[in-house]
Structure 1
Amino acid sequence: MQKISPNIWALGWVSFFTDLATAMIKPLIPIYVVLVLNQGMDKLGYVLAITAFVSYVFRWGSGYLSDKYQVTKPLLLVGYGLSAIMKPMFAYTASWGGVAVISATERLGKAIRSAPKDVLISASAQSNNQGKAFGIHKTLDIAGETLGGIIAFLLLSWLGQSPEFIRTIFELTIIPGVIGVLILWFFVTDVVKKQNSAAMNQNKTSQNNRLFSFEPSLWPWFIVYFVAVFFMMSDAFMVVRGSEIGIETHWLPLLMVTSALTQTLISYQVGQRLDAQGAQFLLKVGLWAGVFSILLLLFQNTMAIILAFVLQGVFVVSTLNAMRARIGQSSQGKGNAYGVFYFGVALASALGSLVVGHLWEYMSAYGALVFSGVGLTLLLFTVSLLKRGLPSPQN
């Protein structure tokens, strides 16, 4: 872990506390919508789709603004601050529509901060340590998610599973959310403008002021990842699947903990693999994990569901870190690239949630799972058959 900037560690701790708060509510949203409010899986699909879709413009726009004005910290403060404020608001909703509105608004915070955060991590790391930098950040990110899921499980076990106690858990998220914002305010330095001021002066009338001014070789990578996100089953649907096979409600948050803990344990090693073997290798590993995760969900067995969440964690950390590091290796317009990347992820995940939710509600869980599994399998074989593989970074 040599030569890792304090900025990266500070950003990691910001994400730790923010994701701790997120994980306290994340498993409760499908529980609340489907099991407490007695809404259908199509309504959960609407919640997930609206949440992703509302945020997509800002994912793109924040990356563009980061490149154009060479600043990141102000965008991060707005993004993390909005998320911290909105999470407790779930306590005051009583319908799936209210959940959708609050969830979408809270996710705007993530949308605003996502691209600038990755730009700042990349700018704070040396060029040959991109994988390690993102790996360390992801480790702290997912460690917070793991602890948050455990806290949700303990609170559900101790307080009970009534709507009133679930709302209390929503309100408690204000504590870690505020801690994350304070760390960002006092300990994170905006280094992007300092590093790139010369380059901005040379290019201020060209690349950095155009929305698509990033390395063209990234487009095939984007397409592959967007298709993967479209077909990969959301963890919210996976939690409901666990409930369907008989897992008790208070145990459901631990399913997400299983995924988060997997990501925590392997994230740094994934970063090292990225630096040693390249992003394309890790992308394929992640796709294989996604295929087997969906396959295991077809079984009505608790251990199969747990293993499905383990492999879902492998999918997330491998594919996302591969993409983030690959963009970090590009020679121009990183903020724009991260923005377009998150734009596509939001759109693909929204469409995927709508399709899966409707298939699940109006066909069956098996129909939705087969759809996801076949799609991911075809994508994996398509990528594997490419003779030259996905394009390498341009010098």
Structure 2
Amino acid sequence: MNNKNSKIQEKKVFGIPWNAFIFGFVSFLNDFSSELTIRALPLFLKNVLNTKTSIIGLIEGVADSTATILKIFSGYLSDKLNQRKWLVTLGYGLSAISKPLLYFANNWVFVLIIRFLDRVGKGIRTSPRDALIANTTKKEELGKAFGFNRAMDPAGAILALLVGSVVIYFSSKNAIKLTDHLFKILVLISIFPVFIALFLIVAFAVDVKNGSSSANKVNLSLKGFNKRFKLYLLTIAIFTLGNSSDAFLILQAQNRGLSILEIFLMLAAFNFITTISAYPAGLLSDRIKRQHLIVAGWIVYALIYFGFGLATKTYQIVILYILYGLYYGLTEGVEKALVADLVEPEKRGTAYGLYNGAVGIFAFPASLIAGFLWQYISPSAPFIFGAVLAIIASISLLKVLSLKSD
């Protein structure tokens, strides 16, 4: 690593590596915007546009898979060009432009197009951003860096949901269904934070290069990656096939009688649990085997999903959804730190693309399967399916990462 990169690794704010700190606040602002709109979107589709759950599953699946494909290519491109910041800026910029268009949504096809554009932005930015954080962080602090970044996401969501709850309380506090007017208010509030996030990237994020020869080592395939990384991706894919969109959890909550205000407050509590668990989990993963924390999170996920499938009372749904935040806190940042452990710095953009690809490619059939299971078998079926696959993936991960390195 060159001298400039070493200096960037030494630069910290309150003990947090510089880029991780900047992108933490970018995530905070971006998630504030997304939580007001994307979390309410399945309710808008169901309550206002009368969209079938199978179509909601289709929309979420297409959105996630769009992001996935681009994550693969953008990660590879950032390695090949040895530049990442402009891709990250472009990705956040496209999402910032597309979100306000939800104000004009009047049918599910229009919503699908907007979700597509937003996910194109996410696909472009995610892998280069993760590589930028990893490559400006010391190996022994990767868990801390990704844990902080992951914690700031739900912190923004908490603020957004509390703001949304205030709006709902004063406009229609007892409403069981979302209205078009209320959704438009939430969209308007969500617009400005994403542009502030864009400014932070342009003004403060630092790009790094890996050396003049790194581009020659990069190719868009699994060739050149070690066996443990390849099997890790397979395990992630198994888990993701049962990890359908959280839209179905929100619809299940509404099915059990929660009002719009109660759903927003429940989501705020869920994000609070994610926030307070993500950073400590990241720190802990720098000291113990990361796979143990991931498996713990997947077991929590399985138990929560079994619970969602069996729950019949409103209070059960609320408790389960709040505890669901622990799964996110234990896994998302740690999974990304583990990717950095398994691959060389010059291949991390591609590696994060492949990792995000494994998640996104299987997210489409996951949401599609969930939509059909819900509509044609029962609302409990998608959750039982997801829980079973989580247990299989947990056993697989422990086996895979017990193998010796190539």
Q: Residues of 2 paired with 1:175 and 1:319: CA distance?
A: 30
Distance apart, 1:265 and its partner CA: 0.4
Task: Name which of 270, 284, 308 aligns with 2:281.
Answer: 270
Instruction: Indicate if the aligned counterparts of 2:148 and 2:279 stay in contact, CA closer than 8 A.
Output: yes
Q: What does residue 289 of structure 1 align with?
A: 300
Q: What does residue 19 of structure 1 align with?
A: 31
Number of aligned residues: 385
Q: What does residue 130 of structure 1 align with?
A: 142
Instruction: Indicate if the aligned counterparts of 1:23 and 1:149 stay in contact, CA closer than 8 A.
Output: yes
Q: What does residue 3 of structure 2 align with?
A: none
- Which moved further from structure 2: 296-305 or 26-35? 296-305
Give the counterpart letter for 1:237 in structure 2: F
Provide closer, same or farther for how the CA distance between residues 138 and 369 of structure 1 changes in structure 2, counting only shifts above 3 A.
closer
Task: Name which of 184, 201, 204 aligns with 1:187.
Answer: 204
Provide closer, same or farther for how the CA distance between residues 54 and 383 of structure 1 changes in structure 2, counting only shifts above 3 A.
closer
Q: What does residue 140 of structure 1 align with?
A: 152
Provide closer, same or farther for how the CA distance between residues 283 and 172 of structure 1 changes in structure 2, counting only shifts above 3 A.
same
Distance apart, 1:211 and its partner CA: 3.6
Distance apart, 1:310 and its partner CA: 3.0
Give the counterpart letter for 1:351 in structure 2: P
Q: Per-residue displacement from partner, 1:243-269 (whole Å, max 9, x unpaired)?
A: 011111222123332322111001111
State the secondary structure of the residue aligned to 2:257. Answer: coil
Q: What does residue 173 of structure 1 align with?
A: 190
Give the counterpart letter for 2:218 in structure 1: N
Provide closer, same or farther for how the CA distance between residues 393 and 149 of structure 1 changes in structure 2, counting only shifts above 3 A.
farther
Provide closer, same or farther for how the CA distance between residues 382 and 65 of structure 1 changes in structure 2, counting only shifts above 3 A.
closer
Provide closer, same or farther for how the CA distance between residues 66 and 204 of structure 1 changes in structure 2, counting only shifts above 3 A.
closer
* Residue 228 in structure 1 maps to residue 242 in structure 2: no
* Residue 29 in structure 1 maps to residue 41 in structure 2: yes
- Percentage identity across paired residues of the two chains: 25
State the secondary structure of the residue aligned to 2:342. Answer: coil
Distance apart, 1:317 and its partner CA: 2.8
Q: Residues of 2 paired with 1:343 and 1:307: CA distance?
A: 32
Give the counterpart letter for 1:372 in structure 2: G
Provide closer, same or farther for how the CA distance between residues 210 and 50 of structure 1 changes in structure 2, counting only shifts above 3 A.
closer
Q: Per-residue displacement from partner, 1:84-121 (whole Å, max 9, x unpaired)?
A: 11111111111112111101211111111110111111
Q: What does residue 108 of structure 1 align with?
A: 120
* Residue 163 in structure 1 maps to residue 173 in structure 2: no
The TM-score normalised by the length of structure 1 is 0.92
* Residue 359 in structure 1 maps to residue 373 in structure 2: yes
- Which moved further from structure 2: 246-255 or 103-112? 246-255
Task: Name which of 53, 56, 60 aligns with 1:48.
Answer: 60
Give the counterpart letter for 1:378 in structure 2: I
Q: What does residue 342 of structure 2 align with?
A: 330
Q: Residues of 2 paired with 1:151 and 1:2: CA distance?
A: 28
Give the counterpart letter for 1:119 in structure 2: A
Distance apart, 1:389 and its partner CA: 4.1
Give the counterpart letter for 1:45 in structure 2: G
Give the counterpart letter for 2:261 in structure 1: H
State the secondary structure of the residue aligned to 2:380. Answer: helix
Give the counterpart letter for 1:208 in structure 2: V
Q: What does residue 98 of structure 1 align with?
A: 110
Q: Residues of 2 paired with 1:248 and 1:392: CA distance?
A: 51
Distance apart, 1:6 and its partner CA: 2.5
Distance apart, 1:14 and its partner CA: 0.9
Distance apart, 1:34 and its partner CA: 1.1
Provide closer, same or farther for how the CA distance between residues 241 and 376 of structure 1 changes in structure 2, counting only shifts above 3 A.
same
Provide closer, same or farther for how the CA distance between residues 41 and 107 of structure 1 changes in structure 2, counting only shifts above 3 A.
same
The TM-score normalised by the length of structure 2 is 0.90
- Which moved further from structure 2: 306-315 or 106-115? 306-315
Instruction: Indicate if the aligned counterparts of 1:235 and 1:256 stay in contact, CA closer than 8 A.
Output: no
Q: Residues of 2 paired with 1:221 and 1:246: CA distance?
A: 40
Provide closer, same or farther for how the CA distance between residues 34 and 391 of structure 1 changes in structure 2, counting only shifts above 3 A.
farther
Provide closer, same or farther for how the CA distance between residues 123 and 204 of structure 1 changes in structure 2, counting only shifts above 3 A.
closer
Give the counterpart letter for 1:12 in structure 2: G
Q: Residues of 1 paired with 2:14 and 2:180: CA distance?
A: 48
Q: What does residue 249 of structure 1 align with?
A: 260
State the secondary structure of the residue aligned to 2:186. Answer: helix
Task: Name which of 91, 109, 115 aligns with 1:79.
Answer: 91
Instruction: Indicate if the aligned counterparts of 2:22 and 2:201 stay in contact, CA closer than 8 A.
Output: yes
Alignment of 1:62-77 (within 5 A): 62-77=74-89
Q: Per-residue displacement from partner, 1:15-71 (whole Å, max 9, x unpaired)?
A: 110111011112211110112212221111011111112222211011001111111
State the secondary structure of the residue aligned to 1:300. Answer: coil
* Residue 371 in structure 1 maps to residue 385 in structure 2: yes
Question: For the aligned residues, what is the CA RMSD?
Answer: 1.9
Provide closer, same or farther for how the CA distance between residues 6 and 372 of structure 1 changes in structure 2, counting only shifts above 3 A.
closer
State the secondary structure of the residue aligned to 1:310. Answer: helix
Distance apart, 1:382 and its partner CA: 4.4
Gaps of 5+ in 2: 1-12, 173-177
Q: Per-residue displacement from partner, 1:168-227 (whole Å, max 9, x unpaired)?
A: 21132111111100111111111x21xx12xx42x443x224443434421111111221
State the secondary structure of the residue aligned to 2:286. Answer: helix
Instruction: Indicate if the aligned counterparts of 2:274 and 2:329 stay in contact, CA closer than 8 A.
Output: yes
Provide closer, same or farther for how the CA distance between residues 162 and 204 of structure 1 changes in structure 2, counting only shifts above 3 A.
closer
Task: Name which of 344, 349, 360 aligns with 2:358.
Answer: 344
Provide closer, same or farther for how the CA distance between residues 159 and 266 of structure 1 changes in structure 2, counting only shifts above 3 A.
same
